[in-house]
Structure 1
Amino acid sequence: MPASFDDDDKAKHGPASGAATNAAGLRLDNYDRTSTHPALPLDDADAAMLDGLSPEEVAREEKRLVRKVDMRLVPAVWIMYLFSYLDRSNIGNAYTAGMGRDLNMSSTHYSVVLLVFFITYVLMEVPSNMVLTRVRPSLYLPALMFVWGGLSICFAAARSWQVIAVLRVLLGAIEAGFAPGVLFLLSSWYTKGELARRYALYYSAVAISGMLGGLIAGGLLQQLDGARGLAGWKWLFVCEGSATCFVALATIFVLPDFPTTTKWLTPRERMIATRRLQRDGVGSAQGGEDVSHTKAAKMAFTDWRTWAFVLTYMCTTGSQTIQYFIPELVKSMGYTGFHVQYMTAPIYACALVAILGFCFSSDLLKERAWHLFTASVIAVASFAIMLGVLDQTGRYVLLCFGVAAVYAACPLVSIYVSNAIPHPSEKRAVAQALVNALGNSASIYGSFLFPKNATDHNRMGFAVTMAFMCIAAGMALVLKYLLNRYPYPEIEQASAARGEDAYRHGETASYEHKA
C-alpha cells in the first residue's frame, strides 16, 4: 500500500468545504465533533514525516503501534470480560450449591431469574453504545464494572428468590453496555484483518470464566461453606463481586480511549492509528465522522445487513444459554457434590480451544462465513448424536464438542458485523449494539429450554438448540452470498475512487468480498 494512499482521494474529491487539512490530507477541524472529550491535536510535522516514509518503514511503525496497543487494550478487556461472565453465570453454580434449596427456588423460579436478566440487558445495549461514542471508554467501561461488582455482592444478602430476580434485572441493565462497548472499542483500533484474533483472545474469557467458575465454586464450597454463618453460595457472590470491584478500579489506569483521544500515544502514533483504519475502510470513533445519534440509529435500523446479523446472532446466543444449565446437565449424568462443579471445567476448556482455533483461522484465511457454517454444523451433529447415546461418558464427551462449537460461533458473528458495517463509526456502534441486544433476546426463551426435572435427557432443549444452529448455518451461507453480491456501498465507492484493487482483494481485503 503506497504511503500517499489518501492523496488520491484528496485529489479526486478535495477536502470538505472550509475544512482544514494536514499534510496527510486528514481533516483537523472535525476530529472530535461527536465528543465531549476533546481529541488531542495532530501535528502537521508528524503527518508530513509519515508521508515521507517508505511502505516498509510505515509497516514497521504500524507493527510497533499495534504491539503497544495489544499490551494494554487486549489484557484489560480480557480480565474485565472474565469477571463479567463470572458475575453473570455464577448463578448456575450457586443454584446447584444450595441457593435453590435455601431460597425455596423451584426450577421454574430459576428460569425466571435467568430470564429477567436479559430483559434489561436487551433494552439497554443500544443506548449504552450510543453514549460510549461520546465519552471516554477508560472511565465508562470500568464504571459499569464497578457497579455490577457491587450488585454481585448484594446477592449474598438475598433472602428470597424474588430479591435475586430484582438484582438480576439491575445486573442486566448495567452489564448491557459492556460487551457491545468492548467490541466497538476493539473495532475502533484494529483493522478487519486483525480484529478476529484480538476478539478471540477477548472472548476466550467466556470459556475461561466457565472453567474458573466451576473450580472457584468447588473450592469456596469446600473451604468457606458455613464460615461466619454464611452458606458457601453466598461466599461465592461476595468473593467474586469484591474482586470485580478491585479490577474495575485498576483498569481505569490501563484501558485506552479512542485513537485520537488516547494520551499515552504520541501525535505521530495517533496519526498512524487513524490512517491505518481509514486505509482499511473502518470509521474511527471521535475522528472525523460527524454523524448524529438519530442519523446513526436510522442508518443502522434501515440497513438489511443489521437484521440479517440479528437473526444469525439470535440463533447462536439462543444456543449459548446452555451455559447456564451445564452444572445441571453434568449432574444428570451421575456426578454429585463438588464433582459437579469440577466436571464443568473440561467443557469450557474445549470451548476455549474452539474459540481460539476458529477465530485465528478466520483471520489468517480472511474468511468468516465458512467458519461460522462449520462451527454450526459441528454443534448440530454433536447434539444429535448425543441424543442417541446412553453411555454417560459418551454423552459428556459429545456435550464438550457441542458446547465448544456453539461458543466458537458466537464471536464469529460479532466480528462479521464489524467487517460488514465498518463505518461510519456511530452507525457501526448502533449496529453492533442492536445485533447484540436483539440477538440476546433469544436468551429469554432459551432460559426455559432445560427444565431441571426433565426425564427424557433434555430432548426438547437439545432439539431447539439444534434448530437454532441449523438456522445459523443457513444464514452463514445466505450472508456469504448477499455480502458478495451487494457489498457495502461506501467500500465500493472508496475502492473505485482510489482505483486500488488491493483495497478489495489484497491484504486488507474487505470481508464482504471474501465472506
Structure 2
Amino acid sequence: MDKKPSPIEYHEHKPLSAIEKDHGAVYLLNFLDRGNIGNSKVLNAETRDDLLQQTHMTSNNYALTVTLFSLAYTLFEVPSNWVMKHYVRPSMWLGFLLFCWGVLTMGFAGVKSYASVVVLRFFIGVFEAGFFPGDAFLLWFCLPDYPARATWLNSSDKHFAVSRLESRGGGYNRAHASHEEIFQTLFSPRMLAHYLAYIADVVPQGSFTFFTPTIVTGLGYTSIHAQLLTVPPWVVGFCVAITLSYSADHFDARGWHITTASLVGGIGWLTAGLLPPDAYGKRYGCLCLAAAGAFPAAPAMTNWVTCNTPSFLTIPLAIALHNSSAGIGQIIAQWIWKAGEAKDGYPTGNFVCAGCSFFVAVVAAGLRITYGVMNRREVRDASGEKRVWAY
C-alpha cells in the first residue's frame, strides 16, 4: 500500500494561500517604493525638474542617500524580526511598520532639500527593513497571525499548516536557540557562504533597483523614453523569476537553478561592458539578459537558506541575517555606477555586476555539492536532529 502523506508532506505542494497572495500585493508596493527614487533621479532632467536638481543634490549625494537607506535595512532587519517572532503579533507589527513607512513615503512627495531627502529615506529604510521578512491599518484585521487564526481554513487545513510550522520552528513562541545553534547560524562556513553569495547577488539587484533609469539614460535615451525603456528588463526578470522559482521548488534543485540564472546574468553584464559605448541596441539587449540573473535567483536563495539553517529555532535569525546582507550588496551597487563614466557606458558597474554574478554561480554550485555530501553522510543539525538538507 502507498504510504499516506504526513500533514507536512501534504502541504508541501498546496497552492498559494490567501495570506501569501496578500503578502505578494504588499511586497509589490514595497518594491515600487524602493525603486522609484531611481526614476525620480533622471525624470525631467532636461527641464531641470528632476530630483537631483530640485533638491540641489550631486550624484554622490544621491549615492549617499540610497546608501543610508540600505544601511537602515542592514541594521534593523534582525531586531525587527526578533520582535515579531517573540513579542508582538505579526499582523500588529507588520501593520505598524507599513503604516509608518507609508506616512513617510507620502511626506517624501514634498521634499525641497537634500537634508530632508536623507532623513526620510533613512527612516523609510528602517520601517521597510522590518516589514520585508513578513494597507497598513487593514493588515491588523485582514492578515491572520498564524494558520490557527485563519478564518478561511477548515480545522483539517489548520492542523496541517500548524504541524508544518511547528516542524520547522515557525509560529509565535518564546523558545530560544542554544549558543551552539546561534553560533553555527552566524559563523559556520556554509552559512557564511549563503550570506556572502546573497551580498553578491544583491549588487546587480541593487543596480536594477536604483540605477536602471540611469543605465538606460546612458544608452542614449532621455526622460520619458528612458522611463518607458526601463520596463522591458523588469518584465523579463519577472517572467524568469516566476518560472525559475516554480521549477526550483518543483524539482527541489535550487542550487543548479541559482547557478544557471547567475551565469546568464553574468554573461549579460560582461557583454554590456565589453561592447562599444555607442552600441545602444546591443547593450540594451544585454541589460534584458542581465535581468534574467540576479532577481530570479534571489527567491530561490532565500528559500534555500531557510531550508538549511543549522537549527529550526534559528530560522528567524538566519532569514534576518540573510536579508541584512542585502543592505551591504545595495551599498556596493550604489557606488559603482559613476556619473563620470556615462560616456564610456559605465564599465565599472557592468564589470562589477558581472563578477558578482559569476561569484554567486560558483558559490551556489559549491553549496549544492556540499549538501549532497552532507546528505550521504547523514550529517545532523546543530541541535542533534536528523535532517535532509535541501539541494
Shared fold, TM over 0.5: yes
Q: Tell whether 2:36 aligns with 1:149.
A: no
Q: 1:177 aligns with which of 130, 133, 137?
A: 130
Aligned counterparts of 1:441 and 1:345: Cα–Cα separation in 2? 26
Contact 2:237/2:293, CA 8 A, preserved across alignment:
yes
Q: Which residue of 2 aligns with 1:165?
A: 118
1:74 to 14, 17, 20: 20
Report the residue type matching 1:159 in the other structure. Answer: K
* 1:320 aligned partner: 205
Distance in 2 separating the partners of 1:469 and 1:317: 9
Q: What one-letter code is carried by the residue in structure 1 that aligns with 2:330?
A: S
| Counterparts of 2:147 and 2:32, CA distance in 1 | 30
Letter in 2 for 1:282: R
Secondary structure at the residue paired with 1:131?
helix
Structure 2 CA distance, aligned partners of 1:61 and 1:310? 28
Secondary structure of 2:37's aligned partner: helix
State how far apart, in whole Å, the 2-side matches of 1:469 and 1:65 are.
Answer: 30
Q: 1:291 to 1:159 in 2, by over 3 A?
A: same
Structure 2 counterpart SS, 1:404: coil
Letter in 2 for 1:376: S
Q: Which has the larger radius of gyration?
A: 1
Count, aligned residues? 377
Deviation at 1:404, TM superposition (A): 2.5
Post-superposition Cα deviations, 1:56-89, rounded to whole Å, max 9, x if no partner, equal: 7x7799569945xx34112211111111111121
Which stretch has the larger CA shift, 342-351 or 442-451?
A: 442-451
Change (3 A) 1:141 1:422: farther
| Cα RMSD (Å) | 2.8
Residue 177 of structure 1: how far off its partner (Å): 1.2
How far apart, CA to CA, are the structure 2 residues paired with 1:83 and 1:122? 20
Residue 389 (str. 1) matches residue 280 (str. 2): no
Q: Which runs of 5+ in 1 are unaligned?
A: 4-54, 183-246, 496-502, 505-509
Paired with 1:371 and 1:353, the residues of 2 have a C-alpha distance of: 15
* Structure 2: runs of 5 or more not aligned: 44-49
1:489 aligns with 2:380: yes
CA-to-partner distance for each residue in 1:240-259, whole Å, 9 max, x for gaps?
A: xxxxxxx2233333322223
Partner SS for 1:157 = coil
Measured in 2, the distance between the counterparts of 1:483 and 1:95 equals 44
Rounded to whole Å, the distance in 2 between the matches of 1:295 and 1:156 is 48
Identity %: 26
Matched, 1:140 2:86: no
Closer/same/farther in 2, CA of residues 362 and 111 from structure 1, 3 Å limit: same
Q: Secondary structure at the match of 2:169?
A: coil
Deviates more, 1:116-125 or 1:486-495: 486-495
- 3-state DSSP of counterpart to 2:56: coil
What corresponds to 1:107 in structure 2?
59
Instruction: From the superposition, tell whether residues 412 and 60 of structure 1 become closer, same or farther in structure 2 (CA, over 3 Å).
Output: closer
**Distance in 2 (alpha carbons) for counterparts of 1:261 and 1:71:** 14
Determine if contact 1:141/1:178 at 8 Å carries over to the other structure. yes
**TM-score normalized by structure 1?**
0.67
Distance of 1:260 and 1:298 partners within structure 2: 32
Query: Structure 1 83/260 Cα, relative in aligned 2: closer, same or farther at 3 Å?
Result: same
Q: Is the 8 A contact 2:7 2:160 kept in 1?
A: no
**Cα 1:64–1:302, aligned 2, differ >3 Å: closer, same or farther?**
closer
Change in 2 beyond 3 A, CA 1:88/1:60: closer
**Aligned match of 1:198:** none
